[in-house]
Amino acid sequence: MHTATLLLELGAVIFGLGLVGRLAGRIGISPVPLYLLAGLAFGAGGVLPLEAPEAFLDTASEVGVVLLLLLLGLEYSAGDLLSTLRRQAPVGVLDLLLNGLPGAAAALLLGFGPVGALAMFGITAVSSSGIIAKVLGDLGRLGNRETPSILGILVLEDLGMAVYLPVLTAVLAASGAWQATGSVAVALACLAVALVVALRFGRVVSSFVTGQSNEVTMLRILGLALLVAGLAESVHVSAAVGAFLLGIALSSDLDEEAHRLMEPLRDLFAAVFFVSFGLSTDPASLPPVLLPALALVAVGVVTKLLTGWMAAERAGVAIPGRIRAGAALVPRGEFSIVIAGLATAGGVVDERLAPLAAAYVLALAVLGPVLARFADPVGRRVAARRRAARPTAR
């Protein structure tokens, strides 16, 4: 591609993403569904197909996944992970099963096969940490009593993905049960090492990464993240898991600085990742999977409401808080698209999986924040009705 054409099209893509992000901020929703819609509109079969530089988009998408998972890992200290495991483990396991099994069942019914069922399990199981964090911040609920329960579920989902992704990667590579078992063992060993390093040597890691200027610190963090992701990929653990574990290993001393330096890079490359996924999905493939997607959306809302209610109830939160917790967990987003991208990249699974995942994430990424806004008044009404019904029951 000629340099002028490359720069023009690349500039158009990035500037367009900036406009889409601003629109999302204006209407008060996550930009993820709009990035996906933009990709659908300008990809093959879209309204205005764009000959985007594929080599750049593919590489930038890989970097986007690494940065998404790196900053997600930075959200959780090793101590938080261990305390959450002790407190919310039963609900976390139930959350993964209740939300993942409907996706797997739908894949089998649609003829996606066992590998497609494994991919759909992850796509429907995991809530969007990014969207949820934004919604909680926008609604001023970060200090609410139910918020630790929500974060506990998210932590356990992410830990579950640290085991799930190596299995999926090995299965997609058709490397057999032995290789899959080995990948899981390596992932668990890496998780244990990351927790030990974070607990005992966090300050050493932070001092190694921290430089004399913001530029040096940013380059060291980015370089180390890519190195760890590459090493993880080379032993079939998944680059995403490697980046997530590195985020955990970096001590809380570096958390705020790393977020400040890396968030702009993450937002850029993550936006490219989402739009690239949309570009690779033909809009004409969406109508055939629309009904299954809507059915999964309905089931996914109910199951997340249930697990959020149970987690908040376990923490002693009142009824309005339980409903808020369930509604907050509804959105799906970045992790679901990462899994769909991994599953469809090698051409192993049914080609309908990508549009099904896109439709599912689009619906819940928009519906989730809306439900979260209305959860508070609904919760108060439910609590008031229960209080009013008690004297009658006597």
pLDDT tens by residue, 344-382: 876 778 888 988 998 998 889 888 888 888 888 887 888
Asked whether residue 312 is assigned to any structural domain, the reply reads yes
The Cα–Cα gap between 280 and 301 comes to 27
CA angle 186, 187, 189 (to 5 degrees): 65
Instruction: Name the amino acid, one letter, at 35.
Output: Y
Q: Phi/psi at 350 (nearest 5 deg)?
A: -60, 135
- The pTM for the full model equals 0.74
Asked whether residue 295 is assigned to any structural domain, the reply reads yes
pLDDT at 394: 45
pLDDT, tens only, 12-28: 778 888 888 888 878 77
Asked whether residue 387 is assigned to any structural domain, the reply reads no
Q: How many whole angstroms from its chain centre is CA 204?
A: 29
pLDDT tier, 393 (very low <50, low <70, confident <90, very high otherwise)? very low
The Cα–Cα gap between 123 and 157 comes to 12
Over 80: is that where the pLDDT of 92 sits?
Answer: yes
The Cα–Cα gap between 372 and 369 comes to 5
DSSP string covering 293-346, please?
HHHHHHHHHHHHHHHHHHHHHHTT--HHHHHHHHHHT----HHHHHHHHHHHHT
Q: Report the CATH number that the domain containing residue 314 is assigned in CATH.
A: 1.20.1530.20
The Cα–Cα gap between 306 and 177 comes to 34
The Cα–Cα gap between 154 and 131 comes to 12
Domain membership of residue 253 as a residue range: 71-379
Question: Counting Cβ atoms within 10 Å, is residue 1 exposed (0-12), middle (13-18) or buried (19+)?
Answer: middle
Asked whether residue 30 is assigned to any structural domain, the reply reads no
pLDDT at 23: 85
Asked whether residue 393 is assigned to any structural domain, the reply reads no
The Cα–Cα gap between 281 and 307 comes to 32
pLDDT at 280: 73
The mean per-residue pLDDT over the stretch 210-223 comes to 82
Across 127-131, 220-224, 294-298, the highest mean pLDDT is recorded for 294-298
pLDDT, tens only, 159-179: 787 778 777 877 777 555 566
Q: Which residues of 81-94 are buried (b: 16+ CB within 10 A; e: fewer)?
A: beebeebbeebbeb
Asked whether residue 20 is assigned to any structural domain, the reply reads no
pLDDT at 187: 65
- From the CA atom positions of the chain, what is the Rg in Å? 21
Asked whether residue 129 is assigned to any structural domain, the reply reads yes
Whole-number average pLDDT of the chain: 80
pLDDT, tens only, 285-327: 888 999 999 999 999 999 999 999 998 888 888 888 899 999 9
Asked whether residue 386 is assigned to any structural domain, the reply reads no
Helices (H), the chain: 3-27, 32-42, 54-74, 78-109, 113-125, 129-138, 147-172, 176-209, 214-234, 239-249, 255-279, 290-314, 319-328, 334-345, 353-393
* Tokens read off for 389: 């019904």
pLDDT tier, 230 (very low <50, low <70, confident <90, very high otherwise)? confident
The Cα–Cα gap between 271 and 52 comes to 14
The mean per-residue pLDDT over the stretch 246-263 comes to 74
Place of tokens 């809009």: 283
Over 70: is that where the pLDDT of 328 sits?
Answer: yes
Find out whether 344 and 281 touch, Cβ atoms under 8 Å. no
- Domain count for the chain, please give it: 1
Instruction: Name the amino acid, one letter, at 323.
Output: I
